[in-house]
Amino acid sequence: MNYALKMMAVMLALGVLVLQGCQTTSTNEQSSNVSKKSFFQKSNQTAKKPKYAPYDWKPSDANSREIWFVNNYKRGSSLFNYSDCNWFYRYKGQVKNTFLRNGNVIVEKDLNNYVSQIVDVSFEPKDKLIFIEGLDGLSPSSYVKYEAKEGLKFIKVEFIYKYNGKEEISICDIHSKNFINRTKLQKIEIEEAKAKAKERIAKLNKFAPVLQAKKKETNNPVIKINSLPKKVDNLNLIIRGNVSDDSGVAIVLMQGEKVKVTSDGRFVGKIKLGYGLNKIKIQAEDINGNIAEKTIKIIREEYISEQMLADVDLPPKTKMRNPDALAVVIGVENYQYVPDATYAYNDAEVFREYLSETLGFKKQRIKIATNSKATQAELNKLLGSNGWLSRNIVKGKSDIVVYFSGHGIANSKDSNTGILPFDVDPNYAIGLPLKELYYNLSKMGAKSVTVYLDACFTGQTRDSKMLIADARPIIISLNKENIPSNITVFSASTGSQISGAIKEKEHGLFTYYLLKGMSGDADINKDKSIQMNELSRYVSKNVKDQAAINGREQTPELKGDKDRVLVQLN
């Protein structure tokens, strides 16, 4: 019994000890928890932002996003490939990579001073980049810093760098081991890259913590045309303008044809105009495929406006049809080596219309050569023995007309005379000799040949200026023996006379009355028919009278078939 009591006493004592131990443990654990809680509270209240912390770090992030460890990867590390980025950032021996407890990474790189502009920034996947700074402007900062989640495949930066005064473009993958070769761009590609960079910056705020995916620009280019007249009278038209665009101009078309464009958007193109209304379409496309279009309207008229026309400048239309007829019309007003032959260009242009509208010639069978186009070679090509006339004549059916308005020239030594082309210096040659012209024309087998010469052969201009400096006027008459019997020649003057102009009508004096006579004024007997003899009398009288008023002499001369009917009026 004593033994039983002793055992009960021992067990009771042990129970008390166990109970006391449990109470002590509970008290200590409670005390420990209180201390730990206080530590965390204190830690949250006093935590300082680490040197390499998330961009939006705050004290409450001390546990969830505090720094896990910092690893400075040295040059040559397998994590980053530097060979494609040596123009982008400097090698300073290391690149800072700060890994966060939540698995993100913060990377900082010092930029190379070769970088002049940031063109574009792209990254994949889009949800893995938390923030990036240093690339949010057109010009980069001195360093790039970004925070990324695990799984970011790449951050590619397209940039322009300067080296030895030249600009080139390159791509750096600052978050990839993929090697990307730099490619040299031509000047226009550099300009497009700059435009792309400016467009990117225009869409960003001054600071963009998170770069959004770049949207394709959709604005159309803007086309501006330099001022143009509404009406012109020439075949070719030069059109100049400018195209501007937010992204960069890729191509400019005029009537579907590509035209030359400078890097700043200026363009120029030449097109041919048809008579009447011309609608010219100009299109521009930018590098994003946006297209702008503009249509301009130009009217090509045969001559200047009616208000400025002389009374002979609009030829009367008749019912005459002469489908086999051929004509060569030459007018040289501006010469390469001698003074101008006043109004000769206007003479030729209007005479051509009389051939078509009044005498019934087909336009495609009339060749005209004026000013710089009326060269020695061109005249030989048209009038030579194997020239355009001789190749297109219908033997025995074709009426041939040759008209010349300009300077004649003569050689006093051998009495030869010629018509002066644009590019012949009369100090050395007489141009196209009349004797040779008449001979070639007479051998072509034409039904008739008529030559009109609004030129003199004294070596003087229509304004009495000498073609050759310090020379004296030459007195040479056109011998009848030099003109074959099957050719009719109607010339503006004889002997030492000057072939003058009539200023108020802007024509040579001879040509003005020649056209006025063809219009119907020469039909003295009113039989609706004008013979060469009638036309000669009318022209000679009026030219002689008008020249006398101007204090000089000029008498036109007709040699050849005087009875042939020239114009049949309606």
Percent helix, strand, coil in the chain (nearest 5)? 25, 30, 45
Section 147-155 average pLDDT: 80
Q: Phi, psi (5° rounding) for residue 176?
A: -155, 155
Q: Which pLDDT score is estimated for 286?
A: 86
Section 374-384 average pLDDT: 95
**Higher-confidence residue: 538 or 97?**
538
Cα 513 to Cα 509: distance, rounded to the nearest angstrom: 7
Q: Are 239 and 204 in contact (CB under 8 A)?
A: no
Q: Which 3 state secondary structure label does DSSP give 330?
A: strand
Going from N- to C-terminal start, the domains of the chain cover 59-202, 222-300, 320-568
Q: Which pLDDT score is estimated for 310?
A: 57
Of 106, 110, 130, the closest CA to residue 51 belongs to 106
Share of the chain above pLDDT 70, in %: 68
Token pair, residue 344, equals 């000769």
Token pair, residue 483, equals 């003109």
For the cut 50, the answer to whether the pLDDT of residue 20 exceeds it is no
**Residue 146 β-bridge partners:** 107, 132
Q: Which pLDDT score is estimated for 61?
A: 60
**Beta strands in 149-265, from DSSP E residues, in sequence order:** 154-163, 166-173, 222-225, 231-232, 236-244, 249-254, 257-258, 260-261
Please give the angle made by the CA atoms of 22, 24 and 27, to the nearest 5 degrees.
Answer: 110
Class assignment of domain 222-300?
mainly beta
Q: Which pLDDT score is estimated for 489?
A: 94
Q: pLDDT-derived band of residue 224, with 50, 70 and 90 as boundaries?
A: very high
Section 526-534 average pLDDT: 93
Cα 399 to Cα 393: distance, rounded to the nearest angstrom: 9
Q: Are 414 and 425 in contact (CB under 8 A)?
A: no
Q: How many other CB atoms are there within 10 angstroms of residue 128's CB atom?
A: 17
Cα 440 to Cα 486: distance, rounded to the nearest angstrom: 12
For the cut 50, the answer to whether the pLDDT of residue 49 exceeds it is yes
What is the reported pTM?
A: 0.48
Q: Which CATH number fits domain 320-568: 1.10.3720.10, 3.40.50.1460, 3.40.50.10330, 1.10.10.350?
A: 3.40.50.1460
Of 363, 364, 376, 361, the closest CA to residue 330 belongs to 376
In CATH terms, are 222-300 and 320-568 the same topology?
A: no
Q: Which pLDDT score is estimated for 567?
A: 94
Q: Considering only 271-280, 356-365, 374-383, 535-544, which range has the smallest mean pLDDT?
A: 271-280
Q: Which pLDDT score is estimated for 97?
A: 60
Cα 350 to Cα 213: distance, rounded to the nearest angstrom: 67
Q: Are 182 and 87 in contact (CB under 8 A)?
A: yes
Of 219, 217, 237, 216, the closest CA to residue 227 belongs to 237
Q: pLDDT-derived band of residue 462, with 50, 70 and 90 as boundaries?
A: low
Instruction: Provide the CA 228 distance to its chain's centre, in angstroms.
Output: 15
Residues 6+ apart with CB under 8 A from 250: 285, 286, 287
Cα 94 to Cα 109: distance, rounded to the nearest angstrom: 9
Mean pLDDT of the chain: 76
Cα 172 to Cα 388: distance, rounded to the nearest angstrom: 68
**Higher-confidence residue: 281 or 139?**
281
